[in-house]
Amino acid sequence: MKTPEKLHGYATAATSTGRSAGAATLRSMTALVDAVGRLVDAAVAHVLLSEDRVTSAAEGRRRLAGPTETEELADKVQRVVVLATPIVRLAARGAKFTRLPWAMIASSSVSVAIAVRSGVREIQVLSSLIAYRIEQTTGQPADPRLVEKIAVDLYLNPKRTPDMTDDRLRLVRLTRKWVLQGALGRTTSKRAGKALEAAEKFDAARWASWTSSGSTM
């Protein structure tokens, strides 16, 4: 085989390998986001099945300061960690471009697990307060999809009023927050506190009319 033909063969093989790796990474990320979605669904459902409610932002902070209790979601948390770990390690191998510390390779599983457990607990406490506000306004059980939508939106951006004309759950952003911030050892406690304050102040009557009108998300 002539040299130009060899080079063409190498280039074709490299391109094919790169595409395969990219496709595999995309599939892994999709599976991870799906797992986070199932975890959030289960976390909010568990809260709404209970009669225990967070009634104020202050109470929410006190609960978050206590032990993180997510045993009933342990299998779903573990699934997220298992899917997230290779993605974090892949990012760490490119640290010279992404500026992520190489230490993540050794500690990624533990750090992500802590971040996900804490994040789930924050979503649950926030959901409980949102459900309480809606239930106090309507006298009826809160719509799970409405609670989940508001909780995720406020958790990601406490300063922004959730757009109820957009029914998407921002799971990709939530996944990035838990996985990347967890790998870096950063916490979401301050943002969770601000989200609780926003939930305490939101217009429950406006959102209650949305759920009672029969709208779906």
* pLDDT for 40: 96
* pLDDT for 9: 45
CB of 74 within 8 A of CB of 80? Answer: no
Q: Is residue 11 part of a domain?
A: no
Q: Is residue 123 part of a domain?
A: yes
> How far apart, in whole angstroms, are the C-alpha atoms of residue 42 and residue 103?
32
Q: Is residue 52 part of a domain?
A: yes
Residue pLDDT tens, the chain, 217 long = 544 454 344 344 434 434 444 555 678 889 999 999 999 999 999 999 999 999 999 999 999 998 777 788 999 999 999 998 888 777 655 554 455 554 555 566 788 888 899 999 999 999 999 999 999 998 999 999 999 999 999 999 999 888 777 778 899 999 988 887 776 767 788 889 999 999 999 888 877 666 544 444 4
Q: Is residue 3 part of a domain?
A: no
Q: Is residue 98 part of a domain?
A: yes
3-state DSSP call for residue 18? helix
* pLDDT for 58: 97
Q: Is residue 148 part of a domain?
A: yes
* pLDDT for 68: 72
| Number of domains composing the chain | 1
Q: Is residue 14 part of a domain?
A: no
Q: At what angle do helices 3-49 and 104-138 cross, to 10 degrees?
A: 40
Question: What six digits make up the tokens of 54?
Answer: 């967070």
Nearest to 175 by CA among 31, 36, 30, 28: 36
* pLDDT for 21: 42
Q: Is residue 58 part of a domain?
A: yes
> How far apart, in whole angstroms, are the C-alpha atoms of residue 11 and residue 176?
33
Question: Which residues, 6 or more positions from 186, have their beta carbon under 8 angstroms from its beta carbon?
Answer: none
Tell me which residue range forms the domain holding 131.
31-212
